[in-house]
Amino acid sequence: MQSTSPENPAQQISEREVLAQLERILSSSFFCNAPSLQQFLQYVVKKRLRSEQDEIKEYSVGREVFGRDASYDPASDSIVRVQANHLRKRLESYYKQSSDELVIEFPKGGYIPQFRRCIKSEPAVPPPTRGPVAPILALVGCFLLGVAAMAVIGAWRSETLQNTPRSEAATPASSPVFEPLWGNFLRSDTPIVLAYGIPVFYWAEGLQIRDVEVNKTDPV
């Protein structure tokens, strides 16, 4: 016998798979010490596998699972509803720590179990990290851009100076700072000769000698 997954009608789940999963759940730490919940889950799962889910009623569960007598009244005795709530919580706790592919669910508002396969998502692959190559390339690019900019500015400046008439070129003589002292020298076509004065001291064979003729006072 096969049971169809409620999320995907085309996907078939065999009875053997369901019973194997039921055994794993019942032997887990969440159910091994809860015999009433074990019996409850076994009862509803096997009823569903035999296609007898229409017989899973609160009254029948109270009589066949929890041993209530013929006078059992679900309206005044909430044993089935309370235990169904415990069963749902145990199943949720089990699957939170389990990686089982087959899931047995106990939906709220009823007692008919559902079977489905758990679709496992592929682990996300982190994007490749960029190494230190990118920052280095960025620095090299900035450096080359700066060199290119300096070359363009230098070429423009050189061309500008070449096209500027010599008479318009700035000279030290045209500056008001140099004009009072150096204006006549810098504007003259005569070559400038620099002459050094007679030193008061000079060196001779490692000795420092003073020339007594320098600054000599003439006789009156």
Question: Within a domain: residue 109?
Answer: yes
pLDDT for residue 205:
64
Total domains in the fold of the chain:
1
User: What is the mean predicted confidence (pLDDT) over 8-30?
Assistant: 85
Question: Within a domain: residue 73?
Answer: yes
pLDDT tens for each residue of 178-220: 666 666 666 666 666 655 555 656 566 666 666 666 656 566 4
Length of the chain: 220
Predicted model pTM: 0.51
> CB neighbours of 42 closer than 8 A, spacing ≥ 6?
22, 26
The residue segments making up the domain with residue 68 are 2-117
pLDDT for residue 2:
42
Decide if pLDDT at 112 tops 60.
yes
pLDDT for residue 192:
63
Q: Report the C-alpha gap between 201 and 210 in whole angstroms.
A: 4
Q: Are 211 and 198 in contact (CB under 8 A)?
A: yes
Question: Within a domain: residue 100?
Answer: yes
pLDDT tens for each residue of 124-176: 666 666 555 566 767 777 777 777 767 766 666 566 656 655 555 455 555 66
Question: Within a domain: residue 83?
Answer: yes
Q: Report the C-alpha gap between 154 and 163 in whole angstroms.
A: 14
Question: Within a domain: residue 160?
Answer: no
pLDDT for residue 8:
47
**From 15-19, 96-100, 105-109, 138-142, the region with the lowest mean pLDDT:** 138-142
Decide if pLDDT at 82 tops 90.
yes
Question: Within a domain: residue 108?
Answer: yes
Confidence grade of residue 7 (pLDDT, cut at 50, 70, 90):
very low
